[in-house]
């Protein structure tokens, strides 16, 4: 059984682990990204961690999922948001491969999550879109079983599209929800769990904030359904820990904005691989390049 070293680089945390050729995560951990130090510092961090891990485990390659827009042929970061400064132009693939003396493959994090869901999520569809709802909103598009990355590797960046004049992710991401709650409740370091706990307890102000969050999220998802007419919409990210309650709530909200024939013919589901989706999908991408 072959095994691979996998990294999932986010704006706040870096997930890492050992993943088998059948997608089993045999070991995993989490470290701070320290994104403010810039893209090159992040790559140095995963190289240093990688050197430690490859002494402990026998691996055949390195699979990397990362925030940012990635040329997955070359492994170079094409563009990145302000979350990770000075990331554009960083050659992740060559830098890590040279340092660890192993083959390396790199792809965008939401693309990797979609690949993971396609591989092991048992969704039984060749046409779907995926959203991950976290600090921002990321997207991925699978058409006829193939991941569509766009002309310049930037397809699915719908967190930037405008809903009522403001970026989609400004109001429909978890950081957007926190901002809305801070405006109502004060500048406390809120977590999504704390917010939804108060919501379930009937807090009137929080109820208003959640209502606004769901409205923007539902309008955005409805627009994407009108554009792509997917068989399935898969929603990932930390909010999915709310489970079937969240799924029911967002389905009810989407139904307000989506024509009935679109709603009936579109399955809206939660991602199944949880926090490991990016790593698993990165390994699947690696295996496609190195069968």
pLDDT band at 289, cuts 50/70/90?
A: very high
Domain annotation covers residue 119:
no
Give the model's pLDDT for residue 275.
Answer: 86
Residue 21 clears pLDDT 90, i.e. is over it: yes
Residue 39 clears pLDDT 90, i.e. is over it: yes
**Same domain flag for 60 and 138:** no
pLDDT band at 16, cuts 50/70/90?
A: very high
Domain annotation covers residue 49:
yes
Instruction: Tell me the average pLDDT of the chain.
Output: 95
**Same domain flag for 83 and 133:** no
Closest CA to 42 of 82, 73, 13, 70: 13
Largest alpha-carbon pair distance within the chain? 57
Q: Quick one: tokens of 125?
A: 């569809």
Closest CA to 140 of 110, 177, 181, 105: 110
Residue 11 clears pLDDT 90, i.e. is over it: no
pLDDT band at 32, cuts 50/70/90?
A: very high
**Same domain flag for 87 and 201:** no
**Same domain flag for 200 and 242:** yes
Rounded distance between C-alpha atoms, residue 107 and residue 288, angstroms: 12
Position with higher pLDDT, 21 vs 189: 21
48-64: per-residue pLDDT in tens? 999 999 999 999 999 99
Domain annotation covers residue 276:
no
Count of domains for the chain: 2
Give the model's pLDDT for residue 187.
Answer: 80
100-124: per-residue pLDDT in tens? 999 999 999 999 999 999 999 988 8
Domain annotation covers residue 118:
no
Rounded distance between C-alpha atoms, residue 72 and residue 17, angstroms: 21
**Same domain flag for 158 and 261:** yes
Residue 174 CB: number of other CB atoms within 10 A?
21
Give the model's pLDDT for residue 134.
Answer: 87
Domain annotation covers residue 199:
yes
Rounded distance between C-alpha atoms, residue 180 and residue 185, angstroms: 9
**Same domain flag for 247 and 139:** yes
125-145: per-residue pLDDT in tens? 999 999 999 888 999 999 999
221-243: per-residue pLDDT in tens? 999 999 999 999 999 988 888 99
Give the model's pLDDT for residue 122.
Answer: 84
Rounded distance between C-alpha atoms, residue 235 and residue 274, angstroms: 10
The domain of 158 spans 124-271
**Same domain flag for 180 and 257:** yes
Give the model's pLDDT for residue 264.
Answer: 97
pLDDT band at 180, cuts 50/70/90?
A: very high
Rounded distance between C-alpha atoms, residue 33 and residue 17, angstroms: 15
Tell how strand 62-66 and strand 104-108 pair up: parallel
Closest CA to 35 of 72, 68, 2: 68
**Same domain flag for 137 and 76:** no
Rounded distance between C-alpha atoms, residue 187 and residue 181, angstroms: 9
């Amino acid at each position: 059984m072959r095994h691979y070293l996998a990294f999932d680089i986010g704006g706040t945390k870096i997930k890492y682990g050992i993943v088998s050729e059948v997608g089993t995560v045999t070991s995993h951990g989490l470290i701070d990204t320290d994104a403010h130090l810039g893209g090159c510092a992040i790559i140095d961090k995963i190289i240093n961690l990688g050197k430690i891990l490859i002494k402990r485990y026998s691996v055949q390659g390195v699979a990397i999922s990362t925030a940012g827009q990635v040329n997955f042929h070359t492994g170079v970061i094409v563009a990145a948001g302000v979350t990770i400064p000075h990331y554009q132009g960083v050659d992740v693939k060559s830098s890590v491969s040279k340092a660890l003396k192993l083959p390396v493959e790199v792809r965008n994090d939401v693309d990797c999550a979609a690949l993971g869901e396609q591989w092991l999520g048992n969704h039984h569809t060749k046409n779907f879109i995926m959203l991950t709802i976290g600090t921002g909103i990321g997207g991925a598009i699978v058409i006829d079983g193939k991941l569509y990355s766009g002309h310049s590797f930037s397809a699915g960046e719908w967190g930037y599209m405008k809903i009522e004049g403001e970026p989609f992710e400004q109001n429909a991401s978890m950081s957007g929800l926190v901002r809305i709650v801070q405006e109502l409740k004060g500048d406390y370091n809120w977590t999504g769990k704390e917010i939804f706990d108060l919501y379930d307890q009937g807090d009137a102000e929080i109820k208003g904030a959640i209502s606004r969050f769901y409205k923007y999220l539902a309008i955005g998802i409805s627009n994407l359904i009108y554009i792509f007419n997917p068989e399935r919409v898969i929603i990932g990210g930390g909010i999915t820990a709310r489970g079937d309650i969240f799924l029911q709530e967002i389905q009810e909200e989407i139904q307000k904005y989506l024509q009935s024939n679109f709603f009936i013919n579109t399955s809206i589901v939660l991602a199944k691989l949880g926090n490991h989706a990016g790593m698993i999908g990165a390994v699947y991408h690696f295996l496609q390049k190195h069968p």
